[in-house]
Structure 1
Amino acid sequence: MPPLSLPEWIVLSLIDEAPAHGFAIAALTGEDGEIGRVWQVPRPIVYRAADRLTAANLLTVARTQAGDRGPQRSILTATEEGSAAVADWLARPVAHVRDLRSEFLVKLALMTRRGRPLTRLVAAQRAVLAPLEPALARRRTEATGFAAVLAAWRYENASAALRFLDDLT
């Protein structure tokens, strides 16, 4: 399977929930959309992602339907491989604190839409981040100059992320 970008994972996950056309996905990922409030995916990127996911055999065209005012719409559905990839991705914690704001929050939103409990993912995420805090605290006390500023920034971000995860449980 090719590596996927966050917009591609979002599109694949939403179509895995229920067959849909690109315009419907773009509405969910737009500025006012349910997922767009967390991470926006512009309409052209949604269509590009759908094309790439179809070429990778993660999505397939289930049927077409007449558009309201335009061309026919392709209703996409996830393949078995696509559904399995989504299940694995949604269960996997992110590797870096910086990815909490984007990928992790998107996963929480997508899992909530599916009615899935968040506890396992939150616990797995905490397990990934918890070992970082003491190491970052050490760096913070040992560093000088700008390295001390950067170490303090990283420590505070990791600490805040852990508090956030604790609040979710």
Structure 2
Amino acid sequence: MRPGLPEWTVLAVTTERPVHGFAVAALTAAEGEIGRVWQIPRPIVYRAIGRLEESALITAEAVEAAGGPPRTLYTATAQGRESVRGWLEEPVPHVRDMRSELLLKLAIHHRQGSDPGPLVERQRAALGPIVTALEAELVGASAFDRVLVAWRHASARAAVDFLDEL
């Protein structure tokens, strides 16, 4: 299974402590701590839990039955923890993914109290060649292609400026 952002989010949260799907859904709801950056509807959270469990990245640890319906607590396996550590340090490949995936990674770093510095540095390094290539494209672009390249260049430069501010 190749995890998507819902799976990465659930997996990252389960590395913090055992947690049930309802709690993850609350975190990723519009008003939730992670939902401010990346919202995941409750059915998608539970689908992600199923995929992660099938892939042996999380495991059911216990069932909590305190004053309501029983809720299964999930925790990341050793393989899941290792996967999250790698994912959290990997820069996103496209500028367009910074609004969702990079901000999500930064939010998780914040939640976990880990240093996002290495990720920010890697992301900055990954953007350098993109900005350079777009600058070269601007020189030869004509008509509406120039508009598109100019937009992409301005977006990439803004992303670099954002990383520099961090």
In the superposition, the TM-score normalised over structure 1's length comes to: 0.95
Match of 2:155 in 1: 157
Match of 2:9 in 1: 10
CA distance in 2, matches of 1:123, 1:98: 18
Moved over 4 A (4+): none
1:67 CA drift (Å): 5.3
What letter corresponds to residue 156 of structure 1 in structure 2?
Answer: A
Counterpart secondary structure, 1:130: helix
Match of 1:126 in 2: 124
1:118 CA drift (Å): 1.5
Match of 1:50 in 2: 49
Matched, 1:102 2:108: no
Deviation string, structure 1 residues 51-107 (Cα, Å, up to 9, x no partner): 11001000000011115333x110000011101000010011111111100000000
CA distance in 2, matches of 1:84, 1:51: 19
Counterpart secondary structure, 1:94: coil
Counterpart secondary structure, 1:116: coil
CA distance in 2, matches of 1:30, 1:144: 44
CA pair 12-65 structure 1, distance change in 2 beyond 3 A: same
Provide the alpha-carbon RMSD of the alignment: 0.9
Match of 1:80 in 2: 78
CA distance in 1, matches of 2:68, 2:15: 26
What letter corresponds to residue 40 of structure 1 in structure 2?
Answer: Q
Match of 2:142 in 1: 144
What letter corresponds to residue 51 of structure 1 in structure 2?
Answer: G
- Residues matched between the structures, number: 166
Match of 1:39 in 2: 38
What letter corresponds to residue 41 of structure 2 in structure 1?
Answer: P
CA distance in 1, matches of 2:39, 2:54: 23
Deviation string, structure 1 residues 1-31 (Cα, Å, up to 9, x no partner): x210111100100111111000000000000
CA distance in 2, matches of 1:129, 1:19: 36
CA distance in 2, matches of 1:8, 1:78: 12
* Alignment match of 1:111 (pick from 95, 109, 121): 109
What letter corresponds to residue 98 of structure 1 in structure 2?
Answer: R
Counterpart secondary structure, 1:131: helix
What letter corresponds to residue 82 of structure 1 in structure 2?
Answer: G
Matched, 1:68 2:67: yes
